[in-house]
Homo-oligomer: A and B are copies of this chain.
Amino acid sequence: MHSPGGKVSGYVALMIVQIIFLVLFWLFVRYEKELLPPAIDAEDAGSAKEHVSKYPQFQDIQVMIFIGFGFLMTFLRKYGYSATGFTLFMAALVVQWSVLMKGFLHMEDGKISLSLENIIDADIAAAVPLISMGALLGRTTPIQLLCMSIFEVALFAANEYLALNVFSICDCGGSITVHAFGAYFGLAVALMLRPSSDQNEAGKLEGASYTSDIFAMIGTTFLWVYWPSFNSVLAEGAGGERAILNTFLSLAAATVTTFVVSALVSHENKLDMVHVQNSTLAGGVAVGTVCNLLLGVHGAVLIGIIAGTVSVLGYRYLTPWMTANLRLHDTCGVHNLHGMPALISAIASAIYASMVTVGDYRSELQDIFPAMVGTNGTETKIMGGLARNASSQAGYQLLGIAVTLLIAIGGGILTGVVLKYTSFRNLKKDEHHQDEHYWEVPAVENKEE
């Protein structure tokens, strides 16, 4: 409407994308064999049941993606339609794209087999651009967001493949591949899209109202409650239950710490809702990569305490500094909720990996650290000696986070350049953080309320 890449053409392009998805599904995606009706004289239908046992955890993750992320971002006083609506839009697009992208990396006979596992993976992938969206919230058009998410998820799938399948790092809850990637990609895009000049202070709409802050608490509490499902869904056996317990306790410790540190560092020692909405969750991110390891309960609690502290201090001191000195507005503070806690998780993973022994991990070693057993790992091999020793594994963990940062930041800068300098329409400063540029907003609002 306004310009090439403006409103109508962008939406039309997205419809074409949806239709391309339809064609790709038709050409390449089939139900997994176990989902087809069994033969009349077949005896067991065991495999289908195996998947479905993860269905409740899948639903918890669905709530995190659609309600958790969506409502967490409603804290802006005039951006609630966009927060909940664009979350829904982006997630709906990304889950389809992710089924295809990740499927292409694991095709059999030229076809992608679809089962519940694929859409669990797709939901996890949807978290990535939603994290990035938090860094940009209110300063992009929906078309920019959606295009970013398509680039980003493709890069995410490649980086995840590299980290998990090539470097064989452990990353059970995805802090490295999901949280660090999403956060630094988003920050890099935000850096590229920053306005050329800027007041030091945030725009008047870049803040909460009393009601919007309570809406955001819906997001926070659902993310808090279901975080153990996110971290444990890909873990197996006893490791899955350890992942649940470690995540729960890390969150609890991070929450207590967040309240205390928030009161200590805030103006007049009053609690700050931004900290409560976000830093309480940092414990879930920081324990993510290591949540299925033998941390000991105290390990999980300690990680939570560190994460809560770092996250609150980040909101209090680092974010304003970045805004003032780098003109980098990280609207939701994803650096403090996802970025730094993910770095903590990566470092913790190197420390714990360096202490791994066959005596401790026994039959789970194959599953958690497959490279230590060897690609053709057999039980004999484990007992004989490790294919990759503990210090090497620790090194690979650090390599994993380093390469992730590199790809995320590089990809983010590139994406930012594309979004800024090609035909996409950019928002002007005075259009930021306002629903009304993209939504019909009730007119009665201004008069009566």
Contact = CB atoms under 8 A, between A and B. Distances in A.
B439 A298 contact: no
SS of A interface (majority): helix
A399 interface: no
A270 interface: yes
Total copies of this chain within the assembly? 3
B96 A249 contact: yes
Given A70-B221, A253-B18, A256-B18, A238 B84 contact: no
B294 A238 contact: no
A421 interface: no
Contacts of A210: 78, 80-81, 441-442, 445, 449
Contact of A241 (B11, B35, B298, B449): B35
Contact of A36 (B7, B52, B204, B294): B294
Nearest to A367: B37
A96 B82 CA distance: 37
A272 B440 contact: yes
Contact of A438 (B57, B271, B439): B271
A60 interface: yes
Interface of A: 1, 7-8, 11-12, 14-15, 17-19, 21-23, 25-26, 29-31, 34-42, 45, 48-49, 51-52, 55-57, 59-60, 62-63, 66-67, 70-71, 74, 77-78, 80-81, 84-85, 88-89, 92-93, 95-96, 114-116, 119, 142, 204, 207-211, 213-215, 217-218, 220-222, 224-226, 229, 237-242, 244-245, 248-249, 251-253, 255-257, 259-261, 263-264, 266-267, 269-273, 276, 280, 294, 296-298, 301-302, 305, 360-365, 379, 382-383, 438-442, 444-445, 449
